[in-house]
Structure 1
Amino acid sequence: MSVVHQIQPAFTVDDSSLLETDLTTCHLLVLVGAGSFSYVVFEPVENKFLAMKSYRFEPQKAAVAELEMIEQVFDADRLLFTAFRSVLLAFDLSNQTLIPAKFYNSNLKKEYLHLLFPEKMQEAVLTDTIDELEVVNVYGLDKDLVGFLRKEFSTDKVINANTALLRSYVYDRDYQQRDGIVYIEIQQPKVTLTAYAFGRLLCQQEFNFQGGLDIVYYLTNMLRQLNLDEQKAQVKLGGAVTEADALVEELRSFVPQVQWQERLPGFLYIGKMQELPAHYFQNLYALALCV
């Protein structure tokens, strides 16, 4: 007999404006990760985020088990069945690789991905074109999971979560640093490192980690491979971490100039969202750049 888990949101942020708004004019932006399901309600006329909710559960080894947990989120959250203007599905649990647009051949998308990652059963290989960076993001998703969510939300809008992150960094005033800048996005147990110099994307890599020293190693190795000066390159940290976390202390012991990422500019946030640290849920808010 299967075990039924009581799903409760880890974060819930909204106010009366949600009830006062015609949600059929809003976009629902959904982010699915390993052991997580989050969404934000986005009103496009005012460029305003009206509500956010994030569920956390134990990451499941099998895709079918992950799907069962997400089904329980649907059972618990009736807002997901609202007739929104559109629904965007973003996935943060896939293998991916970035290909320069000028070298990309759509007939070879599977080959690009499987050159780095073994082919999986029931895998759908999808792509996102990021025109502003002149790259194509090639990634693989479980067919059953993406098929279930497409059907439940009646949407064909699917992207990789890192596509949104890549676009969001372009809005940071520091991304054109001549000495280079590395953005660190922490979504335990995974960390994503993205490097730019002179406004040009140099590299994006994902790693599993256990502590701050692992991140220090990955960061140092990336900077050296890209020939960026470890003492001059800027580092910005984002994700659901705080100054009190041990991994942040370990990171600062080797990278004293690390800064927190700022809230994505050009958007309005309800008051309760502004009470959260600015670097929280950047990967979720960034989905508004992909609508």
Structure 2
Amino acid sequence: MLQKTFDVHQGKIPDGFLHLEVGAAHVALTAFDENKIASHNFEFYSFDANDDFENVLSQIYAQSSFLKHDYQQVKIVWENARAQYIPVSFYNDSMKDLVYPFVENSLVQQKRLLQKNDVFAVPFSVDEERWNLLHKTFPQAKDAHKYYEIIEQSFASPNDNKLHLLVIFYPEHFIIKANKNGKLQFINAVNFSSGTDVVYYLLNATKQLVTSISDTLATLSGLIDGDSTLFQEIYKYIPHIDVDSAENAAFLKENFGEYPSHFFVPFFKYA
């Protein structure tokens, strides 16, 4: 069943760039003007991952204020775990198939896509039926992957021996990116059902990357409340915590809805 979790509108929606983030169980919408300045508008829809996506999309289309007019460009940001970061110096086109052996065994037909710049490549796959439905609605849309957007916006990190973790929370999973010595170590999406799951994964990252807790800094972003048990459990084990912010959407720090600004940062900063 479709639920509109967030519906914040504080001004006119520009007709420049529409960004749709599509996850297994959510769709988020933001818009930017022709100068890539974010508008003060945001919608987040949640649904069951097994719901008929054509019906979900039809309901969103009927409800969304974003989908009442046309845009110069539409960008679909796919948020899933079926992606791989590869330095471009190691990448060749054959890897587009090789990095996804599980795609061949998937119960859902997958479409293989690629996002690449001069530094790194992110080959990824998406549900082909969803891809077809979205591109039928938005024929000129460009595809992107959330990993790519996150890495591109936060590729550089302090060149020190500290472990810098960026942890972006969704209702039932999180994305974690780890940097050390100025280099990206890994980026993954992980399901969780309790704070214990999250803490275990974070502590395991420090162990695998041979870093003490005192030299670990975790920047938290997305749908995590500072007063929640989840936050308190993370803080208990990793005391050096920062909260993510978006320079391209400074208005989030002001009065953008009734929720903390970091709830919305991933959808404006990594988009």
Which position in structure 2 is the counterpart of 1:112? 99
Gaps of 5+ in 2: none
Equivalent positions of 1:76-225 (< 5 A) are 76-77=63-64, 79-114=66-101, 119-120=105-106, 121-131=108-118, 134-170=119-155, 175-176=157-158, 178=160, 179-225=162-208
CA deviation after TM superposition for structure 1 residue 276, in Å: 4.2
Are the structure 2 counterparts of residues 8 and 211 from structure 1 closer, same or farther at C-alpha, using a change threshold of 3 Å? closer
Count, aligned residues: 268
Are the structure 2 counterparts of residues 194 and 272 from structure 1 closer, same or farther at C-alpha, using a change threshold of 3 Å? same
Say whether the 8 Å CA contact 1:48–1:268 is kept in structure 2: no
Which position in structure 1 is the counterpart of 2:29? 39
- Choose 41-50 or 267-276, whichever is displaced more: 267-276
CA deviation after TM superposition for structure 1 residue 46, in Å: 6.7
Give the AA of the match of 1:18: K
Q: Helix, strand or coil for the counterpart of 1:210?
A: coil
CA deviation after TM superposition for structure 1 residue 31, in Å: 0.6
Q: Helix, strand or coil for the counterpart of 1:273?
A: coil
CA deviation after TM superposition for structure 1 residue 229, in Å: 2.4
Give the AA of the match of 1:147: N
Residue 46 (structure 2) pairs with residue 61 (structure 1) = no
Say whether the 8 Å CA contact 2:216–2:240 is kept in structure 1: no
Are the structure 2 counterparts of residues 94 and 149 from structure 1 closer, same or farther at C-alpha, using a change threshold of 3 Å? farther
Give the distance between the partners of 1:187 and 1:236, measured in 2 at CA: 15
Are the structure 2 counterparts of residues 112 and 247 from structure 1 closer, same or farther at C-alpha, using a change threshold of 3 Å? same
Which position in structure 2 is the counterpart of 1:269? 251
Say whether the 8 Å CA contact 1:41–1:51 is kept in structure 2: yes
Q: Give the percent of matched residue pairs that are identical in Structure 1 and Structure 2.
A: 19
CA deviation after TM superposition for structure 1 residue 188, in Å: 2.3
The CA RMSD over aligned residues, in Å, is: 2.3
Give the distance between the partners of 2:86 and 2:187, measured in 1 at CA: 11
Are the structure 2 counterparts of residues 167 and 135 from structure 1 closer, same or farther at C-alpha, using a change threshold of 3 Å? same
- Choose 41-50 or 199-208, whichever is displaced more: 41-50
Gaps of 5+ in 1: none
Which position in structure 1 is the counterpart of 2:240? 257
Give the distance between the partners of 2:36 and 2:205, measured in 1 at CA: 39
CA deviation after TM superposition for structure 1 residue 278, in Å: 2.8
Which position in structure 2 is the counterpart of 1:28? 18
Which position in structure 2 is the counterpart of 1:14? 9
Which position in structure 2 is the counterpart of 1:51? 41
Are the structure 2 counterparts of residues 273 and 287 from structure 1 closer, same or farther at C-alpha, using a change threshold of 3 Å? same
Give the AA of the match of 2:4: P
Are the structure 2 counterparts of residues 211 and 75 from structure 1 closer, same or farther at C-alpha, using a change threshold of 3 Å? same
CA deviation after TM superposition for structure 1 residue 166, in Å: 1.6
Give the AA of the match of 2:49: Q
Say whether the 8 Å CA contact 1:252–1:258 is kept in structure 2: yes
CA deviation after TM superposition for structure 1 residue 187, in Å: 0.9
Give the distance between the partners of 2:144 and 2:247, measured in 1 at CA: 22
Which position in structure 2 is the counterpart of 1:235? 218
Say whether the 8 Å CA contact 2:88–2:120 is kept in structure 1: yes
Give the distance between the partners of 1:29 and 1:272, measured in 2 at CA: 22
Q: Output the TM-score relative to the length of structure 1.
A: 0.83
